[in-house]
Amino acid sequence: MSDDSPDSSSPLQPGPDRPIYTLSVASEILETHPRTLMLYETVGLVTPSRTPTNRRRYTQRDIERLRMIQTLTRRLGVNLASARYLVAMLHSLREHRIGLPEGLRALERHGLSGGA
């Protein structure tokens, strides 16, 4: 007997972890050059999925992470190494359900949102 209920791990299901955005679409969404996204990948800020033909695919969660990086670097003047550290710290704090210290709450007020 087959189960026709949707499987949450199916690649056809919508969700924040489904790799659907190409490099060009992601760069349009983020209003940045595709080379910038490739640089972010090179320095370890984001790791997009790859298709069988080795093309990059970004998830909604990747887009949110990249927006956070843009806020840090463009609006707040943070360098890429510090942005990587801050994004990792925010992710770790959320993962362990630890409240954000005042300095990091101030970052959120500047437009950093939850997708780290």
Give the tens place of pLDDT for each residue, 38-81: 999 999 999 999 999 999 999 999 999 999 999 999 998 999 99
What residue numbers bound the domain in which 72 lies? 23-109
Indicate the range of 7-21, 26-40, 102-116 predicted with least confidence.
102-116
**Number of structural domains found in the chain:** 1
**Is 85 among the domain residues?**
yes
**Is 44 among the domain residues?**
yes
- Burial of 80: CB neighbours in 10 Å, binned 0-12, 13-18, 19+: middle
53: domain CATH number is: 1.10.1660.10
**Is 99 among the domain residues?**
yes
| Percent of the chain that is helix, strand, coil (3-state, to 5) | 50, 5, 45
**Is 28 among the domain residues?**
yes
**Is 35 among the domain residues?**
yes
